[in-house]
Chains A and B, each alone.
Chain A
Amino acid sequence: MNSAMDNLLTDNIKRRNRTNTRLKYIIIAGAVITVVPIFLIVGNLALKGYRQINLAFFTEPAPDTFQAMMAAASGEVIPGGIVNGLIGSLLMVLVASLVSIPLGLMTGIYLYENGTKRYANFIRSLTEILQGVPSIILGIIAYLWVVKNITRGYSALAGSTALTIMMLPLIIRSTEETMKMIPVTIREAAFALGAPYYKMIIKVLIPVSFSGLATGVLLALSRILGETAPLMLTALGNPSVSLDLTKPVSAVPLLIWDFYNDPNMVNLVWSASLFLMIFVLSMNLLSRSIASKHKYI
């Protein structure tokens, strides 16, 4: 009688242990499957893309489809590079940063200083909504505002506008989150010494939270550098290097899109994608390493 009961109990425990171990292996398998794509993508791009990455890749503008076809036919690397896209990307990102970083910093500080006041809460919610707006819609907006009314044609300025609106909420959020971690005593110490408000911000708030702010800016940059959709509606693309804000300009993701649509350029897409991915990922990882090194501000 007693031993029968014991058997029943041990059977039950065995079963529970079995399902317990099974779940553990399922979880591990699921987690591994989730990260497999990252290896596949990086490996695939590296294998097929490295051949085209040479000096010309960084110094020459994109080739035309005829040059690419000739090179592909004779099995050589495609001549030319992505310098027009590189310069265009840098130009638009620079303009977007010049506007959104100071504006985002000031707005973030405003939200931090005004805590839970009704207006600040409202602005905070709007910032969250802005952050969730799909990037293609910001392309439409920059088209309506800048392409239609200001530059009267596709332009780098319109591309920068879309990127600025994308970047602004990211900077605002990261600024406020970083500032929240500063001990209030530091602020109060500055005021106790008689520092005026602006000096407290410039000499205390910003330096103390600098690494956090840098992380936020780098993350925002890594987000907008890979953006394609809004630029298709605004910057359009340009076969040669251009620094004119009122004229169409190319960008690395736009070049990838052009190459992708041209069967002769396939080899160049792999390289351009590889380059863009490495560029964006290293910026991303850099920002995370800064963040983990300075966990408490």
Chain B
Amino acid sequence: MADRSPVITGLGVISALGSGIDEIWPAIVSGQSGLRPLTLFQSPRYGQIPVGEITRDLAEIGAPLHGSRSDKLAWLAARDAIRSANLDTQSVADRTGVLLGSSVGGTHDTERFLTALIKHGKMLARPTRFHECSSPADLVAESFGLFGPSFAISTACSSGALAIATAAELIQSGQADVMLAGGTDSLSHTTWAGFHSLLLVDMQGGCRPFDVARGGMSFGEGAAVLIIEAEEHARKRGAKILARLTGWGASCDAHHVTAPHPEGAGALAAMQSSLRRAQLTPKDIGYVNAHGTGTRDNDMAEGKALKSLFGANVPPFSSTKRFFGHTLAASGAIEAIVCIEALRRQQLPENPGFSEIDPAIGLSPVTKMRPEKLTHVMSNSFGFGGNNATLIFSTAETVPQTRPTPSIPAIVTGLGIIAPEKDFVSERAIQPPLPPDSIKVRACGALDVSTLTPNQRRRLSRITQMAILAARRSHAPDTTKRLAVVLGTGFGCIDEGAVFIENLIAKDEVEPMPTRFPGSVHNAPAGQVAIDLSAHGLNSAPTMGEISFESALWQAMNQIAIGEADEALAGGVDELNKYALAIGKRWGFWTEQTIPGEAAVFANLASTTTKKTSLARVTTVRLGRYRRPFDAKREADWIAAAVDLSKVNIVLSGAKGWSEFDAHYNSVVEELSRRTGRALTHQTYKQDCGEFYSASAVGFSVAVELARQQQCVVLLYTLSSRSGKALCCIEP
């Protein structure tokens, strides 16, 4: 199946160093830096420290008027990538998806809302419309009219690289022919002050990765998007192949929320996994683009991992972070483009900021750009939660050794559910700084945290505790197993993030909250579950509105299919939050039918060859986007192409939440019934758990119970408010 090998046919990038690789590469050659004084927002304590800020007027270079700053950066990179690939998006729309990493999402814009509220008592909710980390992927898919599988990955600083790796999997498994994949993150006061609260920022002129006198990281913003295609597709349309993505791998340290494993064990595992995937050996790698943030812990751990993998023959390596600043979720994608250009130009980029070797590491990076014969290059990205991802790019001329990734069913061996009690609706008081109010909610009761460790009780937020308790219930501990954890979420740790930002704005950067900052990232619950269960496999936090759970389910099942995990936890988690409640009320979301809810649900998945008892089998997971106006016939075609309708008994849908979707769901079930000549049973779950982004995880647990108890085949069908759709088939 070499014809489904992922190849790169286009790229787009926007950064402080420039827009487009033709602007960026000369700047790299001449050793310029994109770091400059901060102007995007006021920073009383740290304003004098240079950052990788994009000072161009985004509207002037064509960015859409609506959307967050991260959305606009992603859109600009996507536009340039499509142009450079000569891709006629309309002709490939149904088989083209978007997978973008984002960790900041619309936080910069949300800060405007919170500043107006806290400092001036004004409720101007509009900027929060694009708060979610899935917004950039949604905007790009909407704007370019793409209907293939699309979601976002939010695993802090490894997001961009993991999005690229996951896009390659979507192509190899046949879910898509073309993917727009990469990452985007704007600067935000929250991340800026957050990294300062962790004392991780270089207070001088810029980061100095691997240098003995390093002082921490430099900050930046940007976006980068690759066009990744199945080789057969690229050849058929006569596209120019720029490079190949031959290897990718991910791992989790399962060690600590911010500190990497001191021996670099997770970094090593990710690099090894990427080599396995590419069927290459360490000696084949001609260059490594290091994560190289310039923090002591990262450089030590990465240095050790490089020495463990390559022994005495560490290939030329460099960190290019000082050129751009650390652009968080965009960094893996920007650095992927640096690697592709290095291959195309046969040049090694230097490691600016380095002058003196650190004896504790004993490795010297490339200090001056030079020509080099390159065939395979590696790029590392590591993030909070001990999240590691490695990509391998190879020249267009290389013969790929990629293995096919058949889509195979998995069995569910356990479920863990923390959900609201049926028929229990309570009044939730809205707290300051919001105007006093109260809203009906379906809330989970008090958590029994007695089994959690003292550190988990005192430091972890409620949503993370919910996730840990649900994960433990779903999983029978077995230390010999390689375990992946994939947890979908719409809003992530929104409470923790809100407390951090409220404090930041109210106190003008004084008395920051260093525990809450890493606790507020989307992948904090998944990372803490991994620590709790010693899960060293893939750790991911996909997000895409109402199909966040299904995105997680697909990613988890795929880890089992490709043999990178023996078992995988797929879950969904979201929590009630006063801002989501109050703004939702203002916008008319909450009604007698649509009551906000929350839950944490995990399903433990295993290969069908395992000897464990199966509750049910998951035979199909499909992701995509629906067209507007909604067309039930077209949707039924999409469903019929993926599952054998003749065996389906029940359709379990996301109806009885947002009422505007009820008609869509009803029309699809009617159309499916018409085609099968039987009246399919239409069941729903939101009347019990309430409306929230990852509610379909509760739906999945209902589907598993229905399949098991009634020995019937259940279709779980979900639509998202921003045009996403997902389909799972659950069988006895």
Query: Do chains A and B interact in one complex?
Result: no
By a beta-carbon cutoff of 8 Å, the part of chain B in contact with chain A is none
Q: Give residues in A with beta carbon < 8 Å to B.
A: none
